[in-house]
Structure 1
Amino acid sequence: MRYLFVLLVLSMFVFSQTPLYLCPSAIIVGPSNASLIATYISKAHKAVYIEVYALTWKELADTLAALANRGVQVYLVLSANVYGGIPTTEKKLVQYLQSAGVNIAFNNDFKFVHTKAFVIDNETVILGSINPTYSGVTNDKGLDVVVNDPSVAKEIATIILNDFNGVYPQYDFSGVVISPINSYGYLKWLLSQPGRVYAAVEEIYSSSGLADLLASRAALAIARVTDVEGVQRVPDLTAKVIVVGDLVYVGSVNLSGSSIRDNRELGFIFYCPSLARSAVSLIKEWAGSESNNIAYQTTSSGVGHSLAEDALIVLAVAAIFALALLRRKRV
């Protein structure tokens, strides 16, 4: 098994797409414990960076206003385009937040800014599919991950601040799925990896160019809306999660042409067996085939130790190849 993993890692380097080799510290499942988003953010000491499609959740707005009032820097990017227009509640909350000192920008450079990302003190990232709206928190079936990793947090903060300022470089962050930059390539790569495939994606459309690949491989695929045969419809589903073996995608990217090509979207692809198990169980629960036995907390200690050992193996193999090449050149 270990040697298979080494081969998998080497193949990832060849094709330049690599997952994050870490596990989230926790998962947030809407609507079961979606309110934890505000709880995490309330603990910020220095800065909070947020990019979301819409904001009508008063509890989060109160949390952000309180942070700004005590000197925490708060940056908020909202979509300038919203189906049906920007909600009246959001307009009122924006005025309230600006009066408290929150920095707010409406981004109009994408068809929709559909991200759901929160960065706390450049140390913690909350990212996934849960909208900070009343429906998003109290009703919708969504999934966020909590990642405690400063380097990952700074990468997501960089994207949010650039979107705030209207600056759009070509990012190349390992394991970070970004529409419209790399989401098609990353998700196609994921769906081509070995292992059983499970998917819960709000929109699964042929226009994505990936729906047929998903349908041909999935042991179970569910969506809220779809034009693909064999995909089960589940009401109120807003999650975007795909499991392939021990690889897991979580984010805001739908399997639709617009989401992949026109929107600003963010997601992660992890190598994390514990997250994969929890996500598969959750997908089965949403599909109505399994009762709730989700572990909302995931630990990275066991996986991290295993991955560290495997990383050493990979480095050793690479060193052996390098030495062999040097010896050939000398001969």
Structure 2
Amino acid sequence: MRLAAALILFVPIVAAQALNLCPNAVVVGPQNSTAILGYISKAQKAVYIEAYALTWRELAQTLASLAQRGVQVYVVLSGNVYGGIPTTEKQLVDYLKNNGVNVAYNYDFKFVHSKAFVVDNKTVIIGSINPTYSGVTSDLGLAVVVQNSTLAREIAAVILNDFNGVYPSYNYTGVVISPINSYRYLSWLLQQRGKAYAAVEEIYESSGLADALMSKAALALARVTDVPGVQTVDGLTAKVIVVGDYVYVGSINLSGNSIRNNRELGLLLRCPSLAAAAIGLIKQWAGTAATRPASTTTYRSSATASTTPAAQIGAPQLSNLLALLLAILLALAILSAGGRRRRKRKA
């Protein structure tokens, strides 16, 4: 194992099942996947990334530029990749290292399959969007953006420890980590009241969760599956499950390897507005977008994992998912403009 050069150490927060927290924004692939780059480009101190593969040249260029400006950049990539590490990735890794970016291949798991980004120990972007050409331009993915310093430090700790080959047993509230707790968290989610809506790239009996999902599934989508009743959707890479007000979003598939052998990261959030939006998105991906009365969906931000989020970020009336996606993009623009105004006032 590599020596721990930059571990983040702190006392983990008390164990619970879900964070009572709504994301500040969502990223829906491929509609606005490049928004990830916008958050990363604003880094002032540090960026931590863990991903299966990296072939997104614009991201590599941004990371190199940040490192040249003195920002600490750490990237963990899977040492094991189906078909071998892409040639483009090898070229980009050499480029990153030559420009001061810390890059490590991790071979200690069957696959390092996370898609997690932490900026300045304040902002977390986590979900199923790979920093690859197809991941950004064509895959049907989903990630959430959470501005929460406690959560950011927790995810950064996992990434840095994986960088250094150090593997403690994490006990973070609402942070779903394979192979540590993903079966327990997802099993708990599927025991909650309400119908289940799922869009998960792989749904296999080997997960041990397929029966629990299908016993309460109103709609279940996958790209590949061996489970009867699951609808297949080409290009689906999302990993999102909704039950009631609870939403799981991350990199973890419902497969044996993903739960027991890979390094995977996800979040379990209690957020009614995110649940409503995710259900709408799943129905659109299924080609059966619901015909229902317009509803109000509100995205909220919270500085802590409290039951009373601190601020609302818009409240668009949604009659269909197109309106939702437009609202998401508008919210991102408003957040960006607000940040610029605050920086000008401080100046």
**TM bucket, shorter chain:** 0.7 to 0.9
Determine whether 1:298 maps to 2:304: no
- Map residues 125-274 of structure 1 onto 2, 5 A cutoff: 125-274=124-273
CA–CA separation in structure 2 for the residues paired with 1:259 and 1:296: 32
Q: How many residues align?
A: 293
Does the C-alpha gap of structure 1 residues 97 and 306 become closer, same or farther in structure 2, counting only changes over 3 Å? closer
Q: Flag the 1:305–1:103 CA change in 2: closer, same or farther, 3 A.
A: closer
Aligned residue in 2 for 1:281: 280
State the shift of 1:218 in Å.
0.5
Counterparts in 2 of 1:246 and 1:97: CA distance versus 1, 3 Å: same
**Compared CA separation, residues 296 and 121, structure 1 to 2 (3 A):** farther
TM-score normalised to the size of structure 1?
Answer: 0.85
Following the alignment from structure 1 to structure 2, what is the Cα–Cα distance between the partners of residues 197 and 60?
35
Q: Please list the CA deviations of residues 307-327 of structure 1 after superposition, one character each: whole Å capped at 9, or x if unmatched.
A: 479xxxxxxxxxxxxxxxxxx
> 2:32 aligns to what?
33
How far apart, in 2, do the equivalents of 1:98 and 1:296 lie? 43
**How far apart, in 2, do the equivalents of 1:297 and 1:133 lie?**
31
Q: What code does the residue aligned with 1:43 have? A: K
Q: What per-residue deviation string (whole Å, max 9, x for no partner) do you get for residues 170-191 of structure 1?
A: 0000000000000001000000
Mapped to 2, the partners of 1:296 and 1:262 lie a distance apart of 37
Change over 3 Å in CA distance of 1:117–1:296 after alignment to 2: farther
Distance, in Å, in 2 between the alignment partners of 1:178 and 1:221 is 22
Match of 2:107 in 1: 108
Partner residue in 1 for 2:341: none
Q: 2:300 is paired with a residue of what secondary structure?
A: coil
The code of the aligned residue for 1:255 comes to L
Q: Residue 113 of structure 2 contacts residue 263 of structure 2 at CA under 8 Å; is this kept in 1? A: yes
Work out the CA distance in 1 between the residues paired with 2:234 and 2:111: 22
SS of corresponding position for 1:185 = helix
Which amino acid in structure 2 is aligned with residue 57 of structure 1?
W
Residue 140 of structure 1 aligns to which amino acid in structure 2? D
Q: What residue number does 1:317 align with? A: none
1:92 maps to what in 2?
Answer: 91
Q: Does residue 1:121 correspond to 2:120, yes or no?
A: yes
How far off is 1:196 after superposition? 1.8
Choose between structure 1 and 2: higher helix proportion. 1
Deviation per CA, 1:122-159, whole angstroms, max 9, x where unpaired? Answer: 00000000000000000000000000000000000000
Letter in 2 for 1:60: L
Shift of residue 86, structure 1, vs aligned partner: 0.1
Q: Distance in 2 between matches of 1:76 and 1:296?
A: 35
Q: Closer, same or farther in 2 for the Cα pair 1:297/1:70, shift >3 Å?
A: farther
Contact kept? 1:42, 1:67, Cα under 8 Å: yes
Distance 1:235 1:35 in 2: 21
- TM-score, normalized by length of structure 2? 0.81
RMSD over aligned CA atoms reads 2.1
CA contact (8 A) 1:281 1:294 kept: no
Sequence identity percentage? 68
